[in-house]
Amino acid sequence: MIIYYAVVLIFGLIIGSFLNVCIHRVPKKLSIVFPPSACPECNQKIKPIDNIPVLSYIFLLGRCRYCKTRISIRYPLIELLNAIFYVVIVYRFGFEYNTLFYMALISTLIVITFIDIEHMIIPDSISLPGIVIALLAGAIFLSDPLSFYENKLGIIGAVIGLFAGGGLFLLIAILSRGGMGGGDIKLMALFGACLGWKAVLMITFIGSLLGSIYGIILMIYKGKGRKAKVPFGPFLSIGAVICILYGREILRMYLGNN
């Protein structure tokens, strides 16, 4: 089992390295395939030996080999974060179709989270294909994460979830007169399509709670006003991850079931 999880960890680190490329290039509408990775400061191509997840950062002491520019700690942290989530998902669900989809979904959410934090956007190039893939996965093989009997979502459940997620946040956007971004609407449509309408409610609650706490902290410690812009995508993403991993247990506690 140790070898099994070690393989999953290494795979997560490798994918995490690719996520860093996506986070850097997608907002700039650059190809995530070509050209090969290079130092953003001196533009020197990064050698394979310097592109080993986490280890290269340690060996290079967090600096570019050529120009000695400091490399952001974000890079190894994202690699580790993705790898740890992969191990947790495999431990939680075993190795099945749901597991593979959840791994891909959480990697996508990591990219969305860091892009939204830095640029205050959720790119359509991620969310729109994600909605299609989520709808197909929900219709064909995904289980309802909040069903005590692990029922399949099915096409009806996936479509209802899609409209529940997208529709709810569209309504919030209309009522708040632009207080909710289009990226958040599409993200919730994606969640609904692959997790179902019950998950939409749980994610909305968790995301709103975390976002409110963060907003209060900003007002207290940084003097931000109530109308200060706060990226909501990261909080919705955290809510989705909690729902996937522990949603059934949370719902069971809420309902008072053993």
pLDDT single digits (tens) 187-244:
999 999 999 999 999 999 999 999 999 988 888 887 766 667 789 999 999 999 999 9
Asked if 26 contacts 111 with a C-beta cutoff of 8 angstroms, the reply is yes
Among 217, 243, 244, which Cα is nearest to 230's? 217
Q: Is the domain of 103 the same as that of 201?
A: yes
Q: What total number of domains does the chain contain?
A: 2
Q: 185-216: string of b/e by CB count within 10 Å (b at 16+)? A: bbbbbbbbbbbbbbbbbbbbebbeebbeeebe
Question: In the prediction, which pLDDT does 221 show?
Answer: 81
Residues 112 and 50 in one domain: no
- Shared domain for 154 and 191, answered yes or no, is yes
Examine the domain organization and report whether 129 and 77 are in the same domain: no
Q: Are residues 201 and 249 in the same domain?
A: yes
3-state secondary structure of 13: helix
130, 190: one domain: yes
Q: Is 37 in the same domain as 47?
A: yes
Which of 69, 94, 119 delimits the end of a domain? 94
How many Å apart are CA 152 and CA 28, to the nearest integer? Answer: 38
* 87 lies in the same domain as 161: no
Domain housing 78: 1-94
Residue 214 host element (H or E): helix 197-222
Is 79 found in the same domain as 198?
no
Do 178 and 214 share a domain, yes or no? Answer: yes
CA–CA distances in Å: residue 37 to residues 29, 44, 48, 68, 145: 15, 9, 10, 16, 37
Q: What is the pLDDT of residue 258?
A: 55
What pLDDT sits at residue 225? 61
The answer on 81 and 138 residing in a single domain is no
pLDDT tens by residue, 101-138: 999 999 999 999 999 999 999 999 999 999 999 999 99
- Among 32, 63, 94, the domain boundary falls at 94
Alpha helices in the chain (DSSP H): 2-25, 55-59, 74-93, 97-119, 124-140, 154-175, 182-195, 197-222, 233-255
**Amino acid 39: pLDDT:** 85
Q: Which two tokens stand for residue 172?
A: 């919030």
Find, among 100, 90, 83, 98, the residue nearest to 19 by Cα. 83
Q: According to the model, what pLDDT value does residue 215 have?
A: 87
Which distant-in-sequence residues (6+ apart) come within 8 Å of 92 by Cβ? 245
In whole angstroms, give the CA distance from residue 53 to residue 72: 13
What's the pLDDT band for 169 if we cut at 50, 70, 90?
very high
Do 14 and 129 belong together in one domain? no
User: What's the predicted TM-score (pTM) here?
Assistant: 0.94
**pLDDT by residue (tens digit) across 36-92?**
888 888 888 988 899 999 999 999 999 999 999 999 999 999 999 999 999 999 999
Structure tokens, 244: 């996937």
d(CA 227, CA 88): 37
